[in-house]
Structure 1
Amino acid sequence: MTTKEKILTLLQKEDTVLSGEKLAQALSISRTAVWKAIKELEKEGYHFEHLANGYRFVSADRYDQAALAAALPMIPTIQIKDAVESTMKEAKIAALDSGLATPALFLTETQTGGHGRFERPFFSPKKQGIYMSLLLKPNQAFQELPQYTVLAAVAVAEAIDALLMKETAIKWVNDLYLDGKKICGILSEATSDFETGRITSVVIGIGISFSIPQQQFPAEIREKATSLFPGEEYPTFSRAALIQEIWRRFFQLLAQLPDMDYMARYRQKSFVLGRPVQFTQQGVTYEGIAKDITNTGELVVETATERKVLSSGEISLDRY
């Protein structure tokens, strides 16, 4: 067992207050080592009371299958694993099971091969983020599909705003930002039936950096990414609470269709509109001003010579 595992075991077993000195003596380590281990455990989702006479174990921000199922009755299947390659892959494999009750939610504590768009790796430290994918089986023609990525972006952004009491912003089409840095990526993928042309399954993958210390991010993304709780502060809500809020809002938006109010909210949260952007099409790089986002989620960009409508791809801004 590691030092932090031993400290956690002692505090959970005793169910009382243990001073740093007593813990240090019990494990033959320094009080500084005890303090560091407590901090590491807190970043992994364990909560302790810091009292004048020591530490008391309070709770752990860990996923409870029964509690999530009770809070999310609209999702009949919830799968939780300690580690997977990616929740997107788990959902895609599950989509082949004709007997699976859907919607189905796949959650993990860490991903060994989590990725975003263009197969870019998604940093997924254990118990410090929310890594989940939702499997839907719409059986609809492509043109009939809701804008799942947009719906998810609005649901995630507004859920974080409500719980964190800070304003997030959306970068078209699928990234969420807080204080100018990326905190969340959303990836939607669909599978179609070759004979009918109908969409048989949709997987919405969401990765949220929850309580990752800023210095823990890889050097190549440290200046561009952050988490909801990047410092020494205690998370003011649990990952499970945020997950519940996200999917409650998502299914509310879905139930309100064909009402397009969610598109107005998406535009309002966008920090792209009205700003200079760059994008590449067929090997040619263009510059222009992002003018609008259509009701089908396309970005309208006005260049010096023409108006371009982007249905996919990636844009870049000066700082992002």
Structure 2
Amino acid sequence: MSIDLSGRVAVITGAGGGLGREHALLLASRGAKVLVNDLGGATDGTGGSLSAAQKVVDEIKAAGGDAIANGGSVTDYAQVEEMVALAVDTWGRVDILVNNAGILRDRTFAKMDLADFRMVVDVHLMGAVNCTKAVWDIMRAQNYGRIVMTTSSSGLYGNFGQSNYGAAKMALVGLMQTLGLEGEKNNVRVNCLAPTAATRMLEGLLPQEKLDALHPRAVSPAVLALVAEEAPNRKIFCAGAGSFEQANITLTPGLYVGTAADAAEQLLANQDALANRDGEFIPANGFVQSHLELTNAGLIEKSAEEAL
């Protein structure tokens, strides 16, 4: 099977360099028409220039592809609407959205200014919300859409000094889970990518040998898979150095301790049983947790499927 994106229109944010650039080049090489969005700012979000996005557009056109540049900020919904309108006016539709734009303002939580916390959340979370909202009705109306949210291991597992970044990145997983459910009937599939790549954000943090192995282009095949017609829905793909994994939010079978006065003490005393992963599963939606808890409490009988 060869993934062919001919006739598809992709909007990729933060695509003036690093991961976004590689995503744009790969999708264009597979036939997609690409709107390359990039504010052109520094890694902390300051400044701005269209030159980075235009350079990628020029690369795509030089290779025989079709692309246009946009320098709008994902934090400004009016600018996002203009960006999407540009794609629609140029090519008539939007099939793919890759929410890649992001910034870093790392500090320990004790030293972090709340303005820096809000800014990172605004760019990563609300930026993705703005872009997704702007294409959502278009994709639903045409009964086709592929959306990729860029999450991070910092959100999935935590990272020292990145409380703002981690909070925003994990929020994108929750957004993906719900939008994947809401878009399913209209063939709009929403997934997450957790990349590890040597971008401007990692400069100075790793030795050069490891940075070379973590080239951004080694991540982009995961994006191509997630925007293909055969893409899955509500998955978290992880990628780096040519290695690919899937992260899952699972639920253990748990245990019932009731609501007696010593329930908390019982919970602490039985932490190993609570954490026992035998029979662990991935819930289909949020209601599964309450169903499991009522089952453990003996208020709902296990179905034959659950008993297996």
TM range (shorter): 0.3 to 0.5
Q: Which structure shows the bigger proportion of residues in strand conformation?
A: 1
Question: Counting helix residues as a fraction of each chain, which structure ranks higher?
Answer: 2
